[in-house]
Structure 1
Amino acid sequence: MTVGIVVVSHSSKIAEGAVELAAQMAPDVELVAAGGTDDERIGTSLEKVLAAVEQSLVDSGGDGVVVLTDLGSAVMTAESAMEFASDPDAVLLADAPLVEGLVAAAVAAQGGAAVGDVCKAAEAVAFGTVPAGVGGPEVPDVKDEPDASGNFELINPLGMHARPAAKIAGGLSGLDAEVTVNGVDGMSIMALMALMALAAGKGSTLRVEANGKDALKAVQYVGRLVEEGFGEL
């Protein structure tokens, strides 16, 4: 079993679409969409969210459930559903952007992370961070020389895209290190995907720099993913 994930949105289409996206990167994770009202209008439904949480608790086989939401009242609805859940202590609400947080959480769950770590993976995502020259600031250097670094050539056919970005960000979120990949935040899926705009396709090189206790582990983790073609070969 893996940790279950529930997506709460004001729109059933948004919830279902987010689940469909995350499922491409985490096929073994139980993802449940709980969007819209009972009559499919825009809004949230306590009954629908509670049913989704209960289903996910069963599907996770006791591993726990992480809930992600979109806007305002969805948070309150999710909190109410958690209070009424059969095992409220096994359900965590992530304070994270819906889509990016969901993908990071799903990848962490796919890797066998515990419920608390799955929630942390979602919350560790740096929302909206993109490379310099693509709408946002470059992550500043912590110091002149990183604790660990490496250069890795992309060998998978599509280079950097959503699935590799999710695997990198999801794995790094559980490590005690600050990591950049080609100068952008290695824990931000959006920033990593923006590397596509800088021609990070097959044959290009990822420069990974890390500082902190797990710096070497972080560089080795990214290097292993790249050398394995992100499982796409």
Structure 2
Amino acid sequence: MTVSLVVVSHSEKIADGAAELAAQMAPKVLILPAGGTGDGRIGTSLEKVMAALDKAAGGDGAVILADLGSAVMTAESALEFVDDPAGFLLADAPLVEGLVAAAVAAEGGADVQAVKRAAEGARGPAHPDGPLGQQLVAEGPVTGQGPDFTGDFELVNQAGMHARPAAKIAGGLASLEADVTVNGVDGASMTALMTLGAGKGSVLHVEAWGADAERAVNYVGGLVQAGFGEP
């Protein structure tokens, strides 16, 4: 069993399309779109969301992603009716990037909390001059001491660091107890990894801190050396 994902959108087409995209990254994960109203209009449907949550019940939990404010409210209302609210988590994440990162994490066997973190990590780093950015600088892994483990790995896949590799790295790292940077950006953020623009032949410098630091470096190295399963 894996953690399921529920996609709540004002548009049925958006929900279906996002689910279809994420399924390409994680074919073993149950991804349940709940978009639009029951009569096909733009909007959200409590009944659709509840039906999706019912389908996810009995598994290893579910993470819900929503596109706009009222979709979040609909998801929160639906959660009030589930039998095991602790197993259903609403992620504060961008719909498409968060869904892809969450799907990859779930495919890798992450638990519901780690899948939620993977989705929220897709938001990318805060601006360093903002209050949250200052907090990340203060509390982040760079403490003046060297990392626990490091590694350098050359990208061998033809397309380099595009969406699928970034999602695989971010999704897997989000489930580990480690703070990881890749070429200076947050390794658990799909968006941040894609901003590297790293092509074939580029070297990824990985630094990791924490209990799973060695495992994290080996995880990234294994993906890179295997070409992420791509040509």
Change (3 A) 1:154 1:131: farther
Partner of 2:51: 51
String of CA shifts for 1:73-111, please: whole Å, max 9, x gaps: 111211221222355443222222222221221111101
Report the Cα distance in structure 2 between the residues aligned to 1:113 and 1:190, rounded to whole angstroms: 20
Contact in 1 for aligned 2:79/2:85 (Cα 8 Å): yes
Q: Which position in structure 2 is the counterpart of 1:229? A: 227
AA partner of residue 206 (structure 2)? V
Aligned partner of 1:173 in structure 2 is 174
TM-score if structure 1 supplies the norm length? 0.85
Q: Is the 8 A contact 1:25 1:103 kept in 2?
A: yes
- Opposite residue 4 of structure 1, the aligned amino acid is S
Q: Tell me whether 74-83 or 23-32 shows the greater mean CA deviation.
A: 74-83
The 1:172/1:23 distance shift into structure 2, 3 A limit, reads same
Structure 1: runs of 5+ lacking an equivalent: none
State the SS of the aligned residue for 2:196: helix
**Which segment drifts farther, 163-172 or 141-150?**
141-150
Whether 2:92 is the aligned partner of 1:95: answer yes
User: Alignment partner of 2:195: what SS?
Assistant: helix
* Percentage of identical aligned residues: 67
Which residue of 71, 78, 82 corresponds with 2:79? 82
Question: How much is the aligned-residue C-alpha RMSD, in angstroms?
Answer: 2.3
* Count of matched residue positions in the alignment of Structure 1 and Structure 2: 221
**Aligned partner of 1:215: which letter?**
A
- Partner residue of 2:193? 192
Measure, in 2, the Cα distance between the counterparts of 1:31 and 1:14: 13
Q: 1:92 to 1:131 in 2, by over 3 A?
A: closer
Q: Distance in 1 between matches of 2:74 and 2:193?
A: 32
- Please tell me whether the aligned partners of residues 4 and 56 of structure 1 are also in contact (alpha carbons under 8 angstroms): yes
1:213 matched to which residue of 2? 211
Structure 2: runs of 5 or more not aligned: none
Paired letter, 1:218: A
SS class of match (2:34): strand
* C-alpha displacement of 1:230: 0.9
1:16-38 Cα distance to aligned partner (Å, 9 max, x none): 22112211110111111111112
The aligned residue for residue 150 of structure 2 is 149
Are residues 1:128 and 2:124 paired?
yes
| Cα distance between partner residues in 2 of 1:128 and 1:88 | 28
Give the equivalent residue in structure 2 for 1:40: 40
Give distance in 2, aligned partners of 1:3 and 1:173. 14
Could you report, residue by residue, the CA deviation over 1:46-99 in whole angstroms, capped at 9, with x for unpaired residues? 111111211232xxx522222111211111211221222355443222222222
Q: Is the 8 A contact 2:22 2:99 kept in 1?
A: yes
Whole-Å separation in 1 of the counterparts to 2:88 and 2:213: 31
SS of the residue aligned with 2:32? strand
Please name the residue that 1:19 is paired with. 19
- Secondary structure at 1:207's aligned position in 2? strand
